[in-house]
Chain A
Amino acid sequence: MSMLTIDNLHARVAGKEILKGLSLSVSAGEVHAIMGPNGAGKSTLGNVLCGRDGYEVTAGTVTYNGIDLLALEPEARAAAGVFLAFQYPVEIPGVNNTYFLRAALNAQRKARGEQQLDSMQFLKLVREKLKVMQISDELLHRAVNEGFSGGEKKRNEIFQMAVLEPQLAILDETDSGLDIDALKQVAQGVNALRSPARAFLMITHYQRLLDYVVPDVVHVLADGRIVESGDKSLALKLEAQGYAGHAAGAAA
């Protein structure tokens, strides 16, 4: 049975309709890629799923593990296991990365009625995840994303994902702005987190991330709707032919 079911989703941003009847179903263990031209509504989908202010859902439903996801506050969605890796991770001066991550993890655990981790337990967890992610612990001692390079910010997103262990991870153009080495590192991190219990929704403009994180299903999002779905060969076809046949730019 599916973990995430999006049915006929319509959403507006600043009065303008961006999603126009999007339907999609994702099961645990699957990796879905959502591709599409600029302005098709890719990032809007990620933001709607995570509850960002200013994204108004006008019709349709989103069911996550049997519950109405849209009824939850952003923090409740996080506690329920939904994670968004931001396209543009936010810099937060004055807030230490480790402190932030522990506060976030413990807030989620508290919301789920689980025991909170003390600083020793948390440190142990962080060390394990650092090893898996192959990133330096120097990142931990800095303020959240402050002064991070583009690649460091994206790796930090994946590292947070590793620590928070979501069930549904939404990656919003995580590959944008990365050179090939950083892209490989990020992909390696994502692959390390693939599991039968976890689902991924990878939003991307380009096919190249999919060379390293091979999706089970590829969807084409154009003008606010899924217009085509297929296996990974669809991504290769898009790469060769572009989005020309998919009403590109209609919502740009």
Chain B
Amino acid sequence: MSQPAMPPLLASLLDAPLPPSGIDWLDQVRREQRAAFAAGGLPDTRMEAWKYTALRALAQRRFASGDAAAQTHAVDTAALVLPGIAGPRLVFVNGAFRADLSRLDALPTGLVLQPLSQALQGDAEPLRFALSRQAREPGDAFARINAASAGDGVVLRVAAGAKITAPVQLVFVGAAAAVDLAWHARSVIELGEGAELSLIEQHVASGEQMHLATLVSAIELREGARLHATVLQHAAIGASLIRRSQLRLQARAHATVHVLELGGALVRHDLQAELVGDGARLDTRGVFMPHGRQHVDTQLAIRHQALNTASSSIWRGVASDRARGVFRGAIVVAPGADGSDASLSNKNLLLSPGAEIDTKPELEIHADEVKAAHGATVGQLDERALFYLRSRGLPLAEARALLTAAFCRAVLDDLPNEPLRDHLATLLLAQLPDT
């Protein structure tokens, strides 16, 4: 049987030279992952995890690797700034670290924050475990090419007991370039025992472009660590962005993750968490709000693997025009994770007849004395409420905006940083269609 021709996407990504590291084990991992990517190919819609996200159009495109101008693109720093946030900042433009845009002076005691490219020039051994992690699932194509090709990214460590009060910003900028680029970044984040960190991950656009970016983040919380993470995805409207966040929580660690998906043409986020220590807790909150022809797919997978672990997830989707939203929330309570508590709510709103949202909550329980609740809905704005608001004088567009914002409110309610919360609420409103 003859081999089918390799899709242009695959061929162009494989054309990219592996980033030179000079570290034997890392070079070895990269070669293996590249080979696995070449052999495994792209996932298709027959795979459960990719059922609603077809890559046919993306597969036909070609992306160049390496942006010679990555260090010199002018970037409006206003795009990086968030109200009330003035802490350390690591900025990447088209995948390359930009010292001139970053803020790494006077880091607080207990915080290590540096680009991966620099960390690898020093003692790379502490990164070996995180960077050697193999992507084995059949749908892992992008994790593989990321492991092979990501030459830069983030290394962030918080020492045991250190409480980092000022939020740390990780900013990934997609900048306009002569060609469509593919770039890959890798984050390795570790919070030591009892450490505390607020983290903001931003994806922003500097000019119109249609790049493909992948980001794989490994986030480890040791005993009693506390993480507040906020992801603000506001990539260019033509960009393709494929992210995987892997969290691992030790005993009594507590992570809260807020995600706002606003930008991008094709957006995929795999948010995977393992609660491996007794009493670990994860709260996830998210809104995806595609409009135009955007396609935004969130795959949430939470594994309760220890006693008395808890997770709560509240996600809202709002789709308008001909946009498509996809949400899959899979929660597994593994054998032995007795006394666990898992809840998941995904409610969705369709603002246009041509919009679509596919949602699938999944719950698997293999332990005892587990509390679990999950639910998903897809609906439209309440006509009675709309008329009520209009009868009081609110124009239709304003009434729709008010109801939509209220619909999303549950997601932002428990975000502790008030200026950030207000800012995100404003961004949500700005995303609403005018009709």
Binding site for B on A (CB under 8 A): 50-53, 73-75, 77-79, 83-84, 86, 89-90, 92-95, 100-101, 103-105, 107-108, 111, 143, 160, 164
Residue in contact with A93 in the complex, picked from B389, B391, B406, CB distance below 8 Å:
B406
B390 at the interface (CB under 8 A from A): yes
Given contact pairs A51-B391, A95-B406, A107-B393, a sample of 20 additional A-B residue pairs in the complex whose CB atoms are under 8 Å apart: A73-B390, A73-B396, A75-B393, A75-B395, A75-B396, A77-B391, A78-B393, A83-B392, A86-B391, A90-B387, A92-B388, A95-B403, A100-B392, A103-B398, A104-B389, A104-B394, A108-B393, A111-B393, A160-B392, A164-B392
- Please tell me if B383 contacts chain A, counting CB pairs below 8 Å: yes
Q: Find out whether the CB atom of B388 lies under 8 angstroms from the CB atom of A94.
A: no
Q: How far is the CA of A94 from the CA of B408 in the complex (A)?
A: 9
Give A51 to B389 CA distance when docked, in angstroms: 12
Interchain nearest-CB distance for B414 vs A (Å): 14
In the bound complex, residues from chain B placing their C-beta under 8 Å from that of A164 are 392-393
Q: CB-CB < 8 A to A95: which residues of B?
A: 402-403, 406
Q: Which of B391, B393, B406, B410 has the largest number of chain A CB atoms within 10 A?
A: B393
Taking the closest CB of chain A, its distance from the CB of B210, in whole angstroms, is: 36
Q: Determine if B360 is an interface residue (Cβ-Cβ < 8 Å).
A: no
Minimum distance in angstroms from A239 CB to a CB of chain B: 31
Question: Counting chain B CB atoms within 10 Å of each CB, which of A73, A95, A101 scores highest?
Answer: A95
Q: How many residues of B contact A (CB 8 A)?
A: 23
Q: Give 7 pairs: A residue, B residue, CB < 8 Å, sorted on A.
A: A86-B388, A90-B385, A92-B403, A94-B405, A100-B392, A105-B393, A107-B393
Measured in the bound complex, the distance between the Cα atoms of B385 and A135 in whole Å is 24
How far does the alpha carbon of A102 sit from the alpha carbon of B389 in the complex, in Å?
12
Instruction: Give A101 to B393 CA distance when docked, in angstroms.
Output: 10
Q: Does B406 contact A79, Cβ atoms closer than 8 Å? A: no
B346 to chain A, nearest CB (A): 16
Cβ of B384 within 8 Å of any chain A Cβ, yes or no, is: yes
| A29 vs B396: C-alpha distance when bound (angstroms) | 31
The interface residues of chain B, by DSSP majority, are classed as helix
8 closest A-B pairs (Cβ-Cβ)?
A: A94-B406, A78-B393, A108-B393, A104-B392, A74-B390, A90-B388, A94-B409, A107-B393
Most chain A CB atoms below 10 A, which of B383, B392, B395: B392
Chain A CB within 8 A of B407 CB: yes
Of the candidates B383, B385, B391, B393, the one whose C-beta lies within 8 Å of that of A92 is B385
- Bitwise interface map of B from 371 to 402 toward A, beta carbon under 8 Å scored 1, else 0: 00000000000111101111111111011001
Nearest-neighbor residue (CB-CB) of A108 within chain B: B393
Residues of A within 8 A of B402 (CB): 95, 100, 103
Q: Complex formed: what's the CA distance from A103 to B410 in Å?
A: 21
Known: A95-B402, A95-B403. A104 touches B388 (CB 8 A): no
| Cβ of B137 to closest chain A Cβ, rounded Å | 38
A52 partner, pick from B382, B387, B399, beta carbons under 8 A: B387
Q: Which residue of A lies closest to B407 (CB)?
A: A94
B397 smallest CB distance to A (angstroms):
10
With a cutoff of 8 Å between Cβ atoms, the chain B residues found around residue A77 in the complex are: 391
Contact yes or no, B389 A53, CB < 8 A: no
CA distance A173 to B256 in the complex (A): 48
